[in-house]
Structure 1
Amino acid sequence: MIIKKKWLGILTPLLATAVLSTAVALPAGAQVPAAGDEVLLEMQKAFRRGDKTRLAQLLPATRGHPLEPWAGYWELRARLEDAQDGEIQAFLQRWPGSYQEDRLRNDWLLLLGQRRDWERFAAEHPRFRMGDDREVRCYAVAVEQLRAGVPDAGAAAEVLRDWYALRDADDGCSYAATGLLAAGRIKPIDVWRKARLAAEANRPRAVQRAVEIVAPEALPGLRQALDSPTKYLTGRATAAGRERQELVALALIRMAVADAGAAARLLDSKWGVHLSVEERNWLWGVIGKQAAVSLSPDALQYFAHASRDSDLTDDMLGWKTRAALRAGQWKQVARAIDAMSESAQDEPTWTYWRARAWMSDRPGDEQRARARQLYERIAGTTGFYEQLALEELGGQVTVPPPPPPLTAQEKAAARANPSLNRGLYAIGMGLRSEGVREWNYATNLHTPGGMGERELLAAADFACQHQVWDRCINTSERTRASIDMAQRFPTPYRDAVLARTRGIGLDPAYVYGLIRQESRFIMDARSGVGASGLMQVMPATARWTARRIGLTDFTPGQINDRDTNIQIGTAYLKLALDDFDGSMPLAAAAYNAGPGRPRNWRNGPVLDAAIWAENVPFAETRDYVKKVLANTVNYAALLTGQPQSLKGRLGVIGPRVAAGEDPSKELP
Structure 2
Amino acid sequence: MFRLKLLLLLPPLLQAGVSSAHDHHDELREQFRSALLQATPLSHEQKTAFSAYPLYPYLEYQQINSRIDSASAEQLQAFIDANADTPLAGRLLFAWARSSGEKKDWPAFSQAWQQIQRPDTRLQCLHASYLLDTQQQQDAWEAARTLWTVGHSQPDECDPVFSQWLKSSHFSQQDALNRHLAALMRGRPGLATYAARFITQSELQQQAKLARSLYDNPEQLTQQPQLLSPETPHADQMLVLAVNRLARQDLEQAIRLWVRERDRLQVPAEQYDSVSRRLGVLMAKRFPAETDPLLASLDPEHKLADLSGWRVRLALVRQDWAEALSLIEKLDEAERHTDRWRYWKAIALEQLGKPGREALLRDLATERSFYGFMAAQMLDTPYQLNDTPLVQSTDAKQQLAQLPAFVRIRELLALERYYDARSEWNLAISHMKPEQIHAAAHLAREWGWYDQGIRGAISSQRWNDMQLRFPNPLPELFEQHAQNRAIDPAWAVAIARQESAFWMQARSHAGALGLMQLMPATARATAKRHAIPLPRLSLLSEPDTNIRLGTAYLSEMAERFNGNLAYASAAYNAGPYRVSQWLDARGDLPLDIWIETIPFDETRNYVQNVLAFRVIYERLAQRPVTLFSPQEFNMLALYQQNDG
TM-score range for the pair, normalised by the shorter chain length: 0.5 to 0.7
1:569 aligns with 550
CA contact (8 A) 1:239 1:274 kept: no
Greater shift, 271-280 or 476-485, is seen at 271-280
Deviation string, structure 1 residues 432-456 (Cα, Å, up to 9, x no partner): 22222322443x4xx33x1443x44
1:291 aligns with 283
Structure 1 residues 553, 438: CA separation in 2 closer, same or farther (over 3 Å shift)?
closer
CA–CA distance in structure 1, aligned partners of residues 556 and 94 of structure 2? 48
CA contact (8 A) 1:524 1:533 kept: yes
CA contact (8 A) 1:501 1:570 kept: yes
Structure 1 residues 384, 422: CA separation in 2 closer, same or farther (over 3 Å shift)?
farther
Structure 1 residues 651, 436: CA separation in 2 closer, same or farther (over 3 Å shift)?
farther
Structure 1 residues 544, 226: CA separation in 2 closer, same or farther (over 3 Å shift)?
farther
Structure 1 residues 247, 567: CA separation in 2 closer, same or farther (over 3 Å shift)?
same
Instruction: Confirm whether residue 522 of structure 1 aligns to residue 516 of structure 2.
Output: no
Instruction: Confirm whether residue 578 of structure 1 aligns to residue 559 of structure 2.
Output: yes
CA contact (8 A) 1:333 1:357 kept: no
CA–CA distance in structure 2, aligned partners of residues 421 and 437 of structure 1? 14
1:411 aligns with 397
SS state at 2:218 partner:
helix
CA–CA distance in structure 2, aligned partners of residues 106 and 371 of structure 1? 58
Alignment of structure 1 residues 169-188 onto 2, 5 Å: none
CA–CA distance in structure 1, aligned partners of residues 627 and 373 of structure 2? 8
Letter in 2 for 1:286: R
* Partner residue of 2:238 out of 244, 247, 267: 247
Letter in 1 for 2:324: W
CA contact (8 A) 1:200 1:257 kept: no
2:296 aligns with 304
Instruction: Confirm whether residue 36 of structure 1 aligns to residue 38 of structure 2.
Output: no
Greater shift, 576-585 or 280-289, is seen at 280-289
Alignment of structure 1 residues 2-401 onto 2, 5 Å: 6-7=5-6, 9-14=7-12, 31-40=27-36, 64=51, 66-69=54-57, 90-101=78-89, 220-221=208-209, 224=212, 227-230=215-218, 233=221, 237-240=226-229, 241=232, 243-257=234-248, 259-264=250-255, 275-276=265-266, 284-306=276-298, 308-309=300-301, 313-327=304-318, 328=320, 329-331=323-325, 333-334=327-328, 337-338=331-332, 346=334, 351-356=338-343, 358-359=345-346, 361-362=348-349, 368=356, 372=360, 380-381=367-368, 383-385=369-371, 387=373, 395-398=381-384, 400=386
Q: Deviation at 1:248?
A: 2.1
Greater shift, 354-363 or 407-416, is seen at 354-363
Letter in 1 for 2:397: K
Letter in 1 for 2:228: A
Unaligned ranges ≥5, structure 1: 19-25, 44-53, 134-165, 172-191, 209-214, 339-344, 655-668
Deviation string, structure 1 residues 144-174 (Cα, Å, up to 9, x no partner): xxxxxxxxxxxxxxxxxxxxxx999999xxx
Using the size of structure 2 for normalisation, the TM-score is 0.66
CA contact (8 A) 1:473 1:489 kept: yes
Instruction: Confirm whether residue 492 of structure 1 aligns to residue 473 of structure 2.
Output: yes
Q: Deviation at 1:513?
A: 0.3
1:626 aligns with 608
Instruction: Confirm whether residue 593 of structure 1 aligns to residue 574 of structure 2.
Output: yes
CA contact (8 A) 2:277 2:306 kept: no
Identity value in percent: 26
CA–CA distance in structure 2, aligned partners of residues 541 and 70 of structure 1? 38
CA contact (8 A) 1:526 1:532 kept: yes
CA–CA distance in structure 2, aligned partners of residues 298 and 199 of structure 1? 32
Deviation string, structure 1 residues 281-332 (Cα, Å, up to 9, x no partner): 865543222112334445544212226446x655444544544444444246
Instruction: Confirm whether residue 508 of structure 1 aligns to residue 500 of structure 2.
Output: no
Instruction: Confirm whether residue 615 of structure 1 aligns to residue 597 of structure 2.
Output: yes
CA contact (8 A) 1:167 1:201 kept: yes
Greater shift, 327-336 or 299-308, is seen at 327-336
CA–CA distance in structure 1, aligned partners of residues 506 and 254 of structure 2? 43
Deviation string, structure 1 residues 422-477 (Cα, Å, up to 9, x no partner): 233333323222222322443x4xx33x1443x44543343333322212333345
Letter in 2 for 1:628: V
Letter in 1 for 2:212: Q
Instruction: Confirm whether residue 635 of structure 1 aligns to residue 644 of structure 2.
Output: no
CA–CA distance in structure 1, aligned partners of residues 60 and 189 of structure 2? 37
1:435 aligns with 421
SS state at 1:412 partner:
helix
Alignment of structure 1 residues 425-504 onto 2, 5 Å: 425-442=411-428, 444=429, 447-448=430-431, 450-453=432-435, 455-456=436-437, 458-478=439-459, 483-504=464-485
SS state at 2:557 partner:
helix
Letter in 1 for 2:564: S
Using the size of structure 1 for normalisation, the TM-score is 0.64
Q: Deviation at 1:481?
A: 5.9
CA contact (8 A) 2:434 2:459 kept: no
CA–CA distance in structure 1, aligned partners of residues 96 and 325 of structure 2? 51
CA–CA distance in structure 2, aligned partners of residues 298 and 107 of structure 1? 58
SS state at 2:620 partner:
helix
CA–CA distance in structure 2, aligned partners of residues 598 and 440 of structure 1? 38
Structure 1 residues 512, 315: CA separation in 2 closer, same or farther (over 3 Å shift)?
same
CA–CA distance in structure 2, aligned partners of residues 484 and 463 of structure 1? 14
CA–CA distance in structure 1, aligned partners of residues 70 and 206 of structure 2? 37
CA contact (8 A) 1:592 1:621 kept: yes
Letter in 2 for 1:532: L
Letter in 2 for 1:595: P
Letter in 1 for 2:340: W
2:173 aligns with none
CA–CA distance in structure 2, aligned partners of residues 515 and 365 of structure 1? 41
1:161 aligns with none
CA–CA distance in structure 2, aligned partners of residues 98 and 351 of structure 1? 41
CA–CA distance in structure 2, aligned partners of residues 525 and 373 of structure 1? 38
CA contact (8 A) 2:591 2:636 kept: yes
CA–CA distance in structure 2, aligned partners of residues 285 and 588 of structure 1? 28
CA–CA distance in structure 1, aligned partners of residues 240 and 621 of structure 2? 55
CA–CA distance in structure 1, aligned partners of residues 185 and 297 of structure 2? 19
Q: Deviation at 1:222?
A: 7.8
CA contact (8 A) 1:15 1:422 kept: no
Structure 1 residues 472, 245: CA separation in 2 closer, same or farther (over 3 Å shift)?
closer
Q: Deviation at 1:600?
A: 1.9
Q: Deviation at 1:598?
A: 1.4
CA–CA distance in structure 2, aligned partners of residues 274 and 59 of structure 1? 74
CA–CA distance in structure 2, aligned partners of residues 529 and 409 of structure 1? 43
2:125 aligns with none
Letter in 2 for 1:287: L
Greater shift, 565-574 or 583-592, is seen at 565-574
SS state at 2:298 partner:
coil
